[in-house]
Amino acid sequence: MAGRSRIARPTESAALAAAGRSARPAPSVPALMAALVDAVDRDDREGICLASHRVVRAAGLDLGHTETSTDRH
């Protein structure tokens, strides 16, 4: 394979930095809910998982943390 040059590929950090430089409007919660309904109708497990996580993130909900008696000071 003489004469072929190596194809440069961006690293993950460079790709993330490039993506962070451009503003992308976030989809609305109703649009994400519609995508979730479509995924359920199609019995698309991966689509259901992706859409439901996007709905929670777009709505600003924090479902991963539950306050316990030791958290309160």
Rounded-to-integer distance, Cα 21 and Cα 10, Å: 15
Rounded-to-integer distance, Cα 18 and Cα 24, Å: 12
Q: What is the pTM for the complete model shown?
A: 0.54
Model confidence pLDDT, tens digit, residues 18-59: 888 887 788 899 999 999 999 999 999 999 999 999 998 888
> Packing angle between helix 29-41 and helix 45-59, nearest 10 degrees?
160
Look up residue 29 and give its two tokens. Answer: 């919660």
Place of tokens 């004469």: 3
The pLDDT of residue 10:
67
Classify burial at 51, counting beta carbons within 10 Å of its beta carbon; exposed 0-12, middle 13-18, buried 19 or more: buried
Q: How many residues does the chain have?
A: 73
